[in-house]
Structure 1
């Protein structure tokens, strides 16, 4: 006997066919990566620690509200620790190897090691000034912000999801890049899993002894994962191609090569003052030619996509917010270089430029336009 509350569901399936699981709306992974890389590009346009801290805070807030439950997302703290290590190493180099920045505020004087004449420009030890340390902090914080932005991209969209959106001509290259990008997150996940297992067994998981005893199982797991990946690629016919006419193959090669040359020439024109007039047209023409060549080259690759990610309005808003931050920070660095690059000689306290800071707040737009509903039990698991 069918319960009364189950009758409407059965009737709806009979009337409209089999019930399909409702799919949770997700943003295209390319939008998240373009957003994060745009924030990283914006970080390269300034050394102001207040603006860099604002970029880190904006990306961290979006990650905290929209991170996915994947090994790459759990590796975000590792990227933050790596950024901190980079900052400390940059400070250590400034103390031990000196700095080209002159300074008058001496903090300490280390014993200096004399070097031969062929090592001019390099010194070991000597006077450590406050100006040199502040310059090292500014420089290291810029690189640390870039690393955190890359970690945010991994936390918001796994690199493996990007593989579905690549054109067929770049599929083999994309597989190699994705495998390389996912090696570190999987390695971190294996270390965490093995350390938790050792703690449950009452065995040490810290220090040199614990590291050596965890290292061998981690290496074994990496090798097993590589063998399993190779078997899965072979079972799915990885590397199959189809024959295309010689005319299309030559056209594809010409378009791709010409497009890449146009992109390089256009980028060089944008970076030089003399090539500002022809830089943008060459860059646009190169991008169009390269895209056309990649689409033609995709005919040789037999691929299908299961539930492909769609580029919708939310993806445009996410990408546009990151691009706006990068463009506005680039514009600000040209019109207000002192505000975005605070001086260290003489040593002055950095100030917060108002409209560049307001531009960075645009990076918070994905936190409001992208829904963050909890996963529905009927939703299929997100492919990793």
Structure 2
């Protein structure tokens, strides 16, 4: 009995037991779909809390794993911008709770329906707050995936047809976190030596080593890619190339249309089948396109039981939120006219809590080596 249930014990993430990077993106995508289906600030806050708890429990100390805080700050900035725009540019939402009247800028006749300044009501600001919180939650979900999924291992799992584009994306994703880590390291070294870390002179003295380190990493990356034969392709028949193009483009269009249907308020009926057809066609095109790639994989990541559980928890959140929008739309989209406090629908909230499953089934983060920490 104990041996049969041994897989339930949460292992420490290592080379052979780490979670597939794609599972984290599927989980975060499910939370993002759930966020797109509601404007209730309580449910959005619950989604942010779920994402934050999982990140705190399962992220490593790698530079790319520290990006979650930046996404949270970006989300708060989005909410602030949305409130400012609603105050200065107005909103179509009527309101009776006047907060302040700003000086209104007269506009020409062709700009009818647009105003700058004027009365600002509580209903307008609350509506803008709900709208901005939805976008902020989506950004935070993306930040959670970026903090949990190792970009290098995600690149390793990409199909051969997407390898070149994946390299560019991974390099772009890892450049900024490494640069921030270099800046923090140099500022700490200056403080330990009793030197100032502020002012134009200090910024110039810190910026030069940071740019030098970025250039050294770029040269080392180019050398390693050249040594591994990056860019080599195999010859394939023209019919295979044309079929690959049709399947890939058609599949991506289907994925875009299906994703739009899932994110739209009333598109779940056609979104799911379109997304399924698009994913199947895109995978077929990527499989055929991968025949041009001559690279091999060393110890490919395995999509195991824990990856299914993590990805399934995110998918469950998305499906339950889509279902909840059909039988309880008022709970998921509280009104602002009249201005009342939003309630917490219990079943959607319980469905969101399923997103906490990765915090208990995903492998615990292991201490990284110096080489892995500088990737």
Query: What is the TM-score with the length of structure 2 in the denominator?
Result: 0.86
Measured after TM superposition, the shift of residue 317 of structure 1 is 0.5
Superposed, 1:172-183 pairs within 5 Å as 172-183=164-175
> Match of 2:303, SS?
coil
Deviations 1:149-185 (A, max 9, x none): 1111111112222111111011111112222222332
The reply to whether residue 248 of structure 1 matches residue 267 of structure 2 is: no
Measured after TM superposition, the shift of residue 375 of structure 1 is 4.6
The reply to whether residue 164 of structure 1 matches residue 159 of structure 2 is: no
2:29 is matched with which residue: 37, 40, 49? 37
1:332 is matched with which residue: 301, 304, 324? 324
Instruction: Return the index of the structure with the highest Cα Rg.
Output: 1
- 1: CA distance, partners of 2:140 / 2:265: 29
> Match of 1:309, SS?
coil
- 2: CA distance, partners of 1:125 / 1:264: 37
Deviations 1:207-264 (A, max 9, x none): 7776566455544544443343333322322111011233433332333344345545
Deviations 1:287-339 (A, max 9, x none): 32321221121111111222221100100010000011011111212221111
Deviations 1:45-80 (A, max 9, x none): 111111011111111111111102211112221222
1:70 is matched with which residue: 54, 62, 68? 62
> Match of 1:125, SS?
strand
Measured after TM superposition, the shift of residue 198 of structure 1 is 3.1
- 2: CA distance, partners of 1:30 / 1:156: 10
Greater length-normalized contact order (CA 8 Å, ≥ 6 residues apart): 2
Counterpart position of 1:100: 92
1:295 is matched with which residue: 270, 277, 287? 287
Superposed, 1:122-161 pairs within 5 Å as 122-161=114-153
> Match of 2:291, SS?
helix
Query: What is the TM-score with the length of structure 1 in the denominator?
Result: 0.84
- 2: CA distance, partners of 1:341 / 1:306: 48
* Structure 2 CA distance for partners of 1:282 and 1:381, relative to 1, 3 Å: closer
Compare 136-145 and 313-322 and name the one that shifted more.
136-145
Measured after TM superposition, the shift of residue 348 of structure 1 is 0.8
* Structure 2 CA distance for partners of 1:75 and 1:263, relative to 1, 3 Å: closer
> Match of 2:103, SS?
strand
- Is the 1:248–1:296 contact (alpha carbons within 8 Å) kept by the matching residues of 2? yes
Superposed, 1:218-367 pairs within 5 Å as 218-263=210-255, 276=269, 283-367=275-359
* Structure 2 CA distance for partners of 1:174 and 1:93, relative to 1, 3 Å: same
> Match of 2:72, SS?
helix
* Structure 2 CA distance for partners of 1:96 and 1:213, relative to 1, 3 Å: farther
> Match of 1:111, SS?
strand
- Is the 1:37–1:150 contact (alpha carbons within 8 Å) kept by the matching residues of 2? yes
Measured after TM superposition, the shift of residue 113 of structure 1 is 2.0
- 1: CA distance, partners of 2:66 / 2:119: 42
Calculate the aligned-residue CA RMSD, in Å. 3.0
Counterpart position of 2:364: 372
- Give the total of aligned pairs: 361
- 2: CA distance, partners of 1:79 / 1:275: 28
- 2: CA distance, partners of 1:364 / 1:287: 26
Counterpart position of 1:188: 180
2:104 is matched with which residue: 112, 117, 128? 112
